[in-house]
Amino acid sequence: MAARCTCTVFLTVLALFSALVVTFYGAGSGVTCPAVSLALVTGLLSLWLWSLRRRDGGFDRRVCVLVLGDIGRSPRMQYHALSLSKHRYNVTFVGFLVNVLNYIPPLLIRLCFVVLSVGPKILTYVTKVIIQSLQLLLVLLRMEIQSHILMQNPPGLPSIAVAWLVSVLRGSRFVIDWHNYGYTIMALSHGQRHPVVRLAKWYEHFFGPLASHNLCVTNAMKDDLQKNWGIKATTLYDRPAAIFRETPLKLQHELFMRLSDAHPQFRSEGSEEVKVEKTVFSVRDLTDDTVTLRAGRPALLLSSTSWTEDEDFSILLKALEEYEGFVKGGASLPSLVCVITGKGPQKEHYRKLIDSLQLEHVKICTPWLEAEDYPVLLGSADLGVCLHKSSSGLDLPMKVVDMFGCCLPVCAVHFNCLHELVKHEENGLIFRGSQELAEQLKSLLSDFPSSEGRLGEFRRNLRTSRGQRWDDNWDQNVLPLITTP
Range of the domain at 13: 3-52
- 275 lies in some domain: no
**Could you tell me if 65 and 102 lie in one domain?**
yes
**Could you tell me if 114 and 260 lie in one domain?**
no
**Could you tell me if 364 and 384 lie in one domain?**
yes
Closest CA to 170 of 232, 212, 130: 212
What pLDDT score was predicted for residue 162? 95
What pLDDT score was predicted for residue 343? 83
Q: Assign residue 211 the CATH number of its domain.
A: 3.40.50.2000
**Could you tell me if 65 and 36 lie in one domain?**
no
- 209 lies in some domain: yes
What pLDDT score was predicted for residue 482? 92
**Could you tell me if 220 and 342 lie in one domain?**
no
Length of the chain in terms of residues written: 485
Contact 362, 324 (CB under 8 A): yes
What pLDDT score was predicted for residue 100? 59
**Could you tell me if 7 and 41 lie in one domain?**
yes
- 288 lies in some domain: no
What pLDDT score was predicted for residue 36? 45
- 280 lies in some domain: no
What pLDDT score was predicted for residue 126? 82
**Could you tell me if 70 and 10 lie in one domain?**
no
**Could you tell me if 47 and 97 lie in one domain?**
no
In the chain, the number of structural domains is: 3
Q: Residue 301: beta bridge partners? A: 338, 383
∠ Cα 451 455 459 (to 5°): 80
What pLDDT score was predicted for residue 9? 38
**Could you tell me if 104 and 219 lie in one domain?**
yes
- 374 lies in some domain: yes
CB atoms inside a 10 Å sphere around CB 214? 23
- 389 lies in some domain: yes
**Could you tell me if 351 and 226 lie in one domain?**
no
**Could you tell me if 141 and 213 lie in one domain?**
yes
Q: What are phi and psi of 178, to 5 degrees?
A: -80, 110
The whole-model pTM stands at 0.80
Mean pLDDT, contiguous 10-residue spans, the chain (485 residues): 43 41 39 48 55 65 90 87 92 80 56 60 80 89 92 93 94 96 90 90 95 96 96 94 92 95 89 81 91 94 88 94 95 96 88 92 92 93 94 91 95 93 95 96 94 93 84 92 84
- 118 lies in some domain: yes
**Could you tell me if 221 and 324 lie in one domain?**
no
- 272 lies in some domain: no
